[in-house]
């Protein structure tokens, strides 16, 4: 059985989030602990993938859909022109804290370093 996390609670509406975009498959909201001026997350509503390491060929459509929605979300965030970084932490060494696949969208300022854990 898929793990219940804070993100599945957000999807279920059990805890609030500051939403940016939502449709049947994905949800995007602002992180509670921003590491840059703009820091949003994109998640699949399904919690069957804890991290990108779990991805199977049958997940290609969902993962591709998430990626192709990022520019639209970046436009809503006002960082489409200025640029941004996307990160998906996967597993212990990455510092992943929430075991529900998610992509960070980080921008709104000149970014240093290579990851979201500065
Ligand atoms: P990661 O370390 O890659 O697992 O990232 C988890 C992200 O989820 C971090 O940006 C956290 O600040 C964020 N986060 C955790 N709980 C919440 C919450 N209730 N609402 C919004 N963002 C959250």
Q: Is the CB of 109 under 6 A from ligand 1?
A: no
User: Average per-residue pLDDT in the chain?
Assistant: 95
**34 CA to centre of ligand 1 in angstroms:** 9
| Pocket lining: 89 vs ligand 1, CB cutoff 6 Å | yes
Strands (E), 45-112: 84-87, 103-107
In this model, does residue 114 exceed pLDDT 70? no
Q: Is the pLDDT of residue 1 over 70?
A: no
Return the beta strands (E) in the chain as ranges: 19-22, 26-30, 38-44, 84-87, 103-107
pLDDT for residue 2 = 77
Q: Is 117 a residue whose pLDDT tops 70?
A: no
Q: Torsion over CA of 16, 18, 20 and 23, rounded to 10 degrees?
A: 0
Q: 102 catalytic, yes or no? A: yes
Counts of helices then strands in the chain (DSSP H, E)? 2, 5
**Mean pLDDT, residues 3-25:** 97
Residue 62 CA to ligand 1 centre (angstroms): 21
What CA–CA distances, in Å, run from 77 to 8, 10, 82, 86, 99?
23, 20, 11, 14, 25
| pLDDT recorded at residue 103 | 98
pLDDT digits (tens, 9 = 90+) for 38-81: 999 999 999 999 999 999 999 999 999 999 999 999 999 999 99
């Amino acid at each position: 059985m898929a793990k219940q996390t804070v993100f599945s609670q957000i999807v279920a509406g059990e805890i609030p989030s500051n939403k940016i975009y939502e449709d049947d498959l994905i949800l995007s909201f602002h992180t509670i602990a921003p590491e840059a001026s703009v820091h949003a997350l994109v998640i699949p509503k399904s919690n069957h993938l804890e991290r990108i390491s779990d991805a199977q060929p049958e997940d290609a459509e969902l993962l591709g859909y998430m990626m192709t929605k990022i520019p639209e979300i970046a436009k809503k965030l006002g960082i489409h022109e200025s640029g941004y970084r996307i990160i998906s932490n996967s597993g212990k060494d990455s510092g992943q804290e929430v075991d529900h696949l998610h992509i960070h969208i980080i921008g709104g300022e000149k970014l240093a370093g290579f990851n979201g854990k500065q």
